[in-house]
């Protein structure tokens, strides 16, 4: 039976990425060695880092004055690195879900946090006012657990930091509006184990504290992400995904594909009497589509999960804190997978209405 991977993360990778990474595991760049055993100081791996950075800048149209880093520790490490490097006294955090809350917890170690709180995490605050004396504002652009997403770039008068773990490369963005963009790679880019950071160089060097070497952004900028041994294999896989994105036609092409997939599934959720969406329609994520059984059919939730699993749908169970279902429709998920899930929902409806 064919499997359709809707896991929220680690999640589906392009087949191109998997195949090219397998080649590299067997014989990297003609060295006769595996990418998993080659020196990160070798000229062959240095070329991977440079080419990956170049593709980051090309695909996202990153302007001059920004650095691209590949670091260990995941996005969770960035929750601490951002305030360590940027916060003198105060920062604003837009609290829109679980990952925002984790970032806020870390930031409170370093100074005062002004929280802009979403009422219920099922809709997003829009008209955000920020104090002019704040060092920066932090947002999470896509919320994997609740299924909300900011789809436009903000304009703020203070530095803007964004966690884009789960929607990076899903649409064009205006990087010039951001001072730091970071995220774990295990949604739209690579296997878990590496985080990316896009950072405006001039934002650094303005805090009054001493920063440990490994937690200081300048350390990694000056050493080209190789102050210590980097996560070599995930970086290599990320490079393959970036090549795949470029071959597809870039972010404009991916945005069109993602909008089409999401519309198909949201239309079915809205039509089917057995299901309903969970978030405000204007805030619906293109990457993580969350839905539940309607009240009338709530008792059939476990039955549908079993039914869908038997049809090859993998990873559609909602997060334990929310329940219901979640279909993660990341870049690499083919339209066919969404169509199969929709057919499964329709068949389930037909069988039960016929009873």
Spatial contact of 12 and 333, defined as CB atoms under 8 Å apart: yes
Catalytic residue flag (residue 244): no
Catalytic residue flag (residue 133): no
Given the residues 53, 151, 187, 200, select the one marked as catalytic. 187
Cα 15 vs. chain centroid, distance in angstroms? 19
Spatial contact of 174 and 192, defined as CB atoms under 8 Å apart: no
Cα 231 vs. chain centroid, distance in angstroms? 18
Spatial contact of 75 and 163, defined as CB atoms under 8 Å apart: yes
User: What interhelical angle do 74-86 and 98-107 show, nearest 10?
Assistant: 40
Q: Please return the burial class of 146, using the count of CB atoms within 10 Å of its CB with bins 0-12, 13-18 and 19+.
A: buried
Spatial contact of 52 and 235, defined as CB atoms under 8 Å apart: yes
Catalytic residue flag (residue 89): no
Report the DSSP pairing between strands 90-95 and 137-140: parallel
Location of structure tokens 């690195």: 81
From 79, 56, 223, select the one nearest 163 (Cα to Cα): 79
**Beta partners for residue 91, in sequence order:** 113
Q: How far apart are CA 332 and CA 137, in angstroms?
A: 31
Location of structure tokens 């900028």: 221
Given the residues 53, 135, 151, 163, select the one marked as catalytic. 163
- Residues taking part in catalysis: 99, 163, 187
């Amino acid at each position: 039976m064919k499997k359709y991977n809707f896991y929220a993360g680690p999640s589906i990778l392009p087949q191109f990425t998997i195949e090219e990474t397998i080649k590299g595991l067997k014989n990297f760049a003609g060295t006769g060695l595996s990418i998993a055993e080659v020196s990160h100081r070798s000229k062959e791996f240095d070329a991977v880092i440079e080419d990956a950075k170049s593709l980051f800048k090309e695909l996202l149209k990153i302007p001059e004055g920004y650095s691209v880093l590949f670091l260990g520790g995941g996005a969770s490490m960035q929750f601490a690195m951002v305030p360590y490097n940027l916060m003198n006294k105060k920062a604003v955090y837009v609290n829109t879900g679980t990952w925002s809350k984790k970032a806020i917890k870390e930031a409170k170690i370093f100074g005062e946090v002004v929280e802009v709180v979403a009422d219920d995490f099922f809709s997003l605050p829009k008209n955000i006012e920020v104090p002019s004396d704040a060092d920066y504002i932090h947002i999470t652009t896509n919320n994997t657990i609740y299924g909300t997403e900011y789809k436009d770039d903000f304009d703020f008068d203070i530095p803007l930091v964004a966690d884009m773990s789960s929607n990076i490369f899903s649409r064009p963005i205006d990087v010039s509006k951001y001072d730091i963009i970071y995220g774990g790679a295990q949604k739209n880019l690579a296997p878990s184990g590496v985080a990316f950071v896009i950072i405006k160089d001039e934002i650094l060097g303005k805090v009054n504290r001493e920063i440990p070497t490994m937690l200081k952004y300048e350390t990694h900028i000056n050493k080209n992400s190789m102050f210590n041994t980097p996560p070599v294999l995930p970086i290599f896989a990320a490079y393959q995904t970036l090549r795949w994105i470029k071959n597809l036609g870039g972010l404009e092409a991916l945005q069109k594909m993602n909008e089409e997939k999401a519309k198909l599934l949201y239309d079915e959720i809205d039509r089917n009497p057995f299901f309903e969406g969970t978030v405000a329609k204007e805030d619906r994520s293109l990457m993580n589509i969350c839905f539940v059984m309607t009240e009338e059919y709530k008792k059939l939730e476990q039955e549908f999960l079993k039914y869908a699993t038997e049809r090859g749908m993998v990873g559609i169970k909602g997060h334990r804190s929310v329940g219901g279902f979640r279909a993660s429709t990341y870049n690499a998920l083919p339209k066919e997978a969404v169509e199969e899930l929709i057919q499964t929902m329709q068949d389930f409806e037909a069988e039960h209405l016929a009873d």
